[in-house]
């Protein structure tokens, strides 16, 4: 599914209908409540239709000409109305509650499965989609589906019962007048379905445009610091306003089309109803019909007119929900890279930490024409520290992403402990790899919650020890709320060095065998860098460590340095070996970085 999938229309076919009916498996656990609610709905609708005939018969009784010889007085009808209304109220209450149980619990299960399916998709899935689109699937589309199960489906069935029973009653009650009414019925239904198709199309466009508008909001709110730093508030305001204006334009077209539909209903349907009423009045005047029967007919034709008029809207809502269901199922039918139900109880496979890349080549799925890695071979023994050095775009981060199996290699093989990477369960692999990135992402909760993310079942003492080893404990305990301090959205309330040390604490708590440091100190000031570097030294003890670095001073003591350029390894060796090759790329980098420092580049 690409971005255009959200714009596809639902097409009626046997396979499509069969497919969207899969959603009923989420209703199946609550089938008893659903069936009872349906029974109450049908009974309530039938009682309502019978009740609407009682005023006319009461009128006939009042003038001494009852149509049915029940032997009831006008006073008796008062008690009948009271009892029937109480029964109707009870039916309505339990029907509403039961439909809510079915829709709320059923849609909650869909929402959970959809979220689980999305978060277990590979990285490529997110690269091909915008966050706003996925958010729309899990919110707007499911809300449409929920409205169908809680309101629209029940209302649709109720109107069907009303129409069928209403037609049967008026044919029996006033056969002569009912013929004219029945002539209008097929025409209105056919026109309603035709209008419904056009209305659905515009409604879908409106929904897609709303999703685009929501995407703009999410992107600007998530990156508001970038917006402000570039002083692009005006640009974003115009972009959002333009998108909202497009929503308004589509909505007005939608409203005009619905308006035309209502004009048709009022002109044709209600015009026919008024004609029928006029004919009925003449019949009463000529003693061909009792006034109470005309009264009942007026009530029933009004109810039937309203029921028929509602079909266009109900039909459109159901079709919109079918389209939403299809989009939801497109995600639910995708394969996951990790099964949440299995990974929860899966014991991580123990590894020692030896890493080996053999002749690895790679191109990103979204850029197949660009080879990012070319015949890369790297060996890291268990407990060793290596560094990847090179200009941006050289392939350093791609090596890490392949190790995490965010992507599959295009050629060559990767091994951990001499086991092919693809033969290691993904859960076990990623459980044994820890990352401290340059751009630390913290969640909006407390410091405690962010550290515990490395090991969700860790107790407080473990968390405190991880904070101590990461040089975080001192600044954490200086806060009034200590570990309960809320870090704000993406950790905005903490400094860069503090966020970095929280990330290190998280990695320490995870206790991985393989550690990846992705330029973890490149954006820090000297004081923060010293604290973070000390914390990183604690973290790297006894672990296989892969360091991506621009600051060469931080990697002088690693076991091997690999210098990458345009996806190829141009040099490899220790700091001293590479620095003593004056024509080498590493030595050039070193001269550029150290020329103004008092660092001795020669052997030390």
Is the pLDDT score of 598 beyond 80? Answer: no
CB distance 532 to 497 below 8 Å: yes
Strands (E), 437-554: 514-518, 544-548
Are residues 388 and 461 both part of a single domain? no
Nearest to 519 by CA among 555, 562, 495, 549: 549
Per-residue pLDDT band for 604 (boundaries 50, 70, 90) equals very low
**Each residue of 482-528: pLDDT tens digit?**
888 887 776 677 877 788 888 888 888 888 888 888 876 655 556 66
Is the pLDDT score of 187 beyond 70? Answer: no
Domain boundary among 511, 544, 570: 511
pLDDT on residue 20: 67
Is the pLDDT score of 429 beyond 80? Answer: yes
Is the pLDDT score of 5 beyond 60? Answer: no
In angstroms, the CA 332 to CA 114 distance is 6
Residue 553 lies in a domain: yes
pLDDT on residue 329: 82
Of 345-354, 361-370, 433-442, the poorest mean pLDDT is in 345-354
Residue 482 lies in a domain: yes
Are residues 30 and 58 both part of a single domain? yes
Residue 317 lies in a domain: yes
pLDDT on residue 602: 45
pTM summary value: 0.69
Residue 160 lies in a domain: yes
In angstroms, the CA 483 to CA 463 distance is 9
pLDDT on residue 520: 62
pLDDT on residue 217: 82
Task: State both tokens at 166.
Answer: 């209403």
Are residues 78 and 109 both part of a single domain? yes
Share of the chain above pLDDT 90, in %: 0
The number of distinct structural domains making up the chain is 3
Are residues 272 and 133 both part of a single domain? yes
Domain boundary among 332, 365, 386: 332
pLDDT on residue 4: 43
Residue 337 lies in a domain: no
Domain boundary among 332, 362, 389: 332
Is the pLDDT score of 3 beyond 70? Answer: no
Kindly calculate the radius of gyration of the chain based on its CA atoms and give it in whole angstroms. 35
Burial class for 201, CB neighbours closer than 10 Å (0-12, 13-18, 19+):
middle
- Count CB atoms within 10 A of the CB of residue 208: 18
Name every residue whose Cβ is closer than 8 Å to that of residue 209 and which is 6 or more positions away in sequence. Answer: 243, 246, 247, 250
Task: State both tokens at 257.
Answer: 């089309």
SS3 94: helix
Are residues 273 and 286 both part of a single domain? yes
Per-residue pLDDT band for 70 (boundaries 50, 70, 90) equals low
In angstroms, the CA 101 to CA 599 distance is 71
Are residues 295 and 418 both part of a single domain? no
Identify the helix (H) or strand (E) that includes residue 570. strand 568-573
CATH code for position 504? 3.40.50.300
In angstroms, the CA 604 to CA 587 distance is 15
| Residue 450 structural domain | 439-511
CATH code for position 294? 1.20.1560.10
Residue 4 lies in a domain: no
Q: What is the DSSP string of 33-76?
A: HHHHHHHHHHHHHHHHHHHHHHHHHHHHHHTT--SS-----HHH
Please give the average per-residue pLDDT across 90-105, as a whole number.
Answer: 86
pLDDT on residue 528: 63
Name every residue whose Cβ is closer than 8 Å to that of residue 426 and which is 6 or more positions away in sequence. Answer: 337, 338, 405
Nearest to 397 by CA among 567, 269, 169: 567
pLDDT on residue 603: 43
Is the pLDDT score of 8 beyond 60? Answer: no
Please give the average per-residue pLDDT across 290-315, as a whole number.
Answer: 73
**Each residue of 548-590: pLDDT tens digit?**
877 777 788 888 889 888 888 888 888 888 888 877 788 887 7
Share of the chain above pLDDT 70, in %: 82
Nearest to 116 by CA among 298, 377, 343: 343
């Amino acid at each position: 599914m690409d971005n255009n999938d959200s714009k596809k229309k639902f097409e009626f076919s046997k396979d499509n209908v069969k497919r969207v009916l899969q959603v009923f498996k989420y209703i199946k656990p609550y089938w008893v409540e659903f069936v009872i609610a349906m029974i109450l709905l049908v009974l309530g609708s039938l009682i309502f239709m019978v009740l609407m005939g009682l005023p006319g018969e009461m009128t006939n009784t009042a003038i001494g000409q009852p149509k049915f010889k029940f032997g009831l007085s006008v006073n008796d009808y008062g008690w009948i109305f009271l009892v029937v209304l109480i029964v109707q109220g009870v039916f309505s209450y339990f029907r509403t509650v039961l439909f809510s149980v079915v829709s709320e619990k059923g849609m909650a299960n869909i929402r959970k499965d959809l979220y689980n399916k999305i978060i277990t998709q590979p990285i490529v899935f997110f690269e091909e989609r915008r966050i706003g689109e996925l958010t729309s699937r899990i919110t707007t589309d499911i809300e449409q589906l929920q409205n169908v199960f809680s309101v629209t489906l029940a209302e649709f069935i109720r109107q069907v019962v009303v129409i069928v029973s209403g037609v049967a009653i008026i044919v029996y009650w006033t056969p002569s007048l009912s013929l004219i009414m029945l002539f209008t019925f097929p025409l209105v239904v056919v026109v309603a379905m035709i209008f419904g198709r056009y209305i659905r199309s515009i409604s879908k466009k409106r929904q897609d445009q709303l999703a685009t508008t929501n995407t703009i909001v999410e992107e600007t709110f998530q990156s508001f610091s970038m917006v402000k730093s570039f002083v692009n508030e005006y640009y974003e305001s115009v972009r959002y306003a333009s998108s909202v204006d497009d929503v308004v334009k589509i909505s007005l077209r939608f409203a005009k089309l619905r308006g035309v539909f209502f004009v048709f209903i009022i002109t044709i349907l209600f015009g026919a109803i008024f004609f029928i009423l006029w004919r009925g009045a003449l019949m009463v005047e000529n003693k061909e019909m009792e006034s109470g029967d005309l009264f009942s007919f007026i009530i029933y034709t009004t109810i039937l007119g309203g029921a028929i008029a509602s079909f266009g809207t109900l039909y459109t809502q159901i079709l919109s929900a079918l389209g939403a269901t299809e989009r939801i199922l497109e995600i639910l039918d995708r394969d996951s890279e990790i099964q949440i139900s299995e990974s929860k109880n899966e014991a991580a496979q123990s590894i020692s930490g030896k890493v080996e890349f053999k002749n690895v080549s790679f191109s990103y799925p979204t850029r197949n024409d660009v080879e990012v890695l070319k015949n890369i071979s790297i060996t890291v023994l268990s407990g060793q520290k290596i560094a990847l050095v090179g200009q941006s775009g050289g392939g350093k981060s791609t090596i890490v992403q392949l190790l995490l199996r965010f992507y599959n290699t295009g050629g060559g093989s990767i091994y951990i402990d001499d086991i092919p990477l693809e033969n290691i369960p993904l859960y076990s692999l990623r459980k044994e790899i820890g990352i401290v990135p340059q751009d630390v992402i913290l969640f909006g909760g407390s410091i405690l919650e962010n550290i515990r993310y490395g090991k969700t079942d860790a107790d407080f003492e473990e968390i405190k020890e991880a904070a101590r080893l990461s040089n975080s404990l001192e600044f954490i305990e200086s806060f009034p709320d200590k570990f309960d301090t809320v870090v704000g959205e993406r950790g905005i309330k903490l400094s860069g060095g503090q966020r970095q040390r929280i990330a290190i604490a998280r990695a320490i708590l995870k206790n991985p065998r393989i550690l990846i440091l992705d330029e973890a100190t490149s954006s820090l000031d000297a004081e923060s860098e010293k604290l973070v570097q000390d914390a990183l030294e604690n973290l790297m003890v006894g672990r296989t460590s892969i360091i991506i670095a621009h600051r060469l001073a931080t990697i002088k003591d690693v076991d091997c340095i690999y210098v990458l350029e345009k996806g190829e390894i141009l040099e490899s060796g220790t700091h001293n070996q590479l620095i003593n090759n004056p024509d080498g790329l590493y030595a050039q980098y070193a001269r550029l970085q150290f020329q103004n420092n008092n660092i001795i580049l020669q052997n030390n």
